[in-house]
Amino acid sequence: MIVRDTPSRWEIFLILNGSVVPRILPNITGAALWALLVLVLDRYVVAMPQISIAAMGVFGLSLSLFLSFRNNAAYDRWWEARRIWGRMVSDVRSLAQELRIFAGKGPDEEFILTRILAFHHLHRAQLRGDEVAETVRHWVGPEDAEALMQNANAPNAALQDIATRLRQMAEDGRIDGFGQRALAERLAAFPAAQAGNERLLTTPLPFVYSLLVWRTTYLYCLLLPFALLDSAGWFEPLVAAVVAYVFFGLAEVTHELEHPFRKQANSVPLSAMCRVMEISVCNALGRDAPPRLEPVNHVLD
């Protein structure tokens, strides 16, 4: 996720980190060269057919509506992912408090809180393929880490370990029935969050929307030069490039936000949020807390 102050007037035009310009530059260049070719052919070779600028305005309005709809849907996905992970951070802190209330300080508290950290790191690996083996070993030990990672659903295996520990605590009288129920309800929030993230990961926006937007964008940029022959003159390639930047840029931004867990500049910062959980757990256990992750080149991982 990009973390930076509002850029200056000059920086706005120079910033590439977090921008979609590098990815759509071939489309912008192609639109400008196509517009230049149409203009040169019209001026020096043969009169080219012209399209009403009003008709292209209606076409552009329709395309804008398509892009707006898809952009809103994609941003909703990104924001939902961020909210789910925000609730997960809150639930980790609440779990630590409830364990202190119902179970007190001791091995049970340490076991459950380190397992919940393992769950989140394993879930992070599940969502975007991060290498988390060393991190999981650090929190639960090498043998337990290997046992967890051998499961087809490693994050859920960590939650099952916690559930088993809670049952043992209740059977041995280390927590009462009310505490067992409260902790079980808190634990249930984590698989619900995992399912929500898996839904976002495995169910992208319907492909038909993407196909419609990209086809319409290309078609609009192909036809636009024929509407600018009289009104834009030699500025036609520049106008075509600006229009291509706007429409292809919005389409690319939408595609990026549609996948909030991918390793890209504007994704949800899963590593940083896991570190926040680690700090909360260390504070609860009386351990030295690791430092917060800082943005690198304005990107928070």
- Give tens-digit pLDDT for 267-293: 899 999 999 999 999 999 999 999 998
Rg (CA), the chain: 26
- Report d(CA 30, CA 36) in Å as an integer: 10
All structural domains of the chain with their residue ranges: 36-285
Span 148-200, pLDDT tens digits: 999 999 999 999 999 999 999 999 989 998 989 999 999 999 999 999 999 99
Give this prediction's pTM.
0.89
Which pLDDT score is estimated for 263? 85
Q: What is the pLDDT of residue 299?
A: 74
Q: Is 80 exceeded by the pLDDT of residue 249? A: yes
**What average pLDDT does the chain have?**
89
Asked whether 41 and 48 are in contact (CB, 8 A), the reply is yes
Angle at 274 between CA 273 and CA 280, to 5 degrees: 95
pLDDT tens by residue, 226-235: 888 888 788 8
**Section 113-139 average pLDDT:** 94
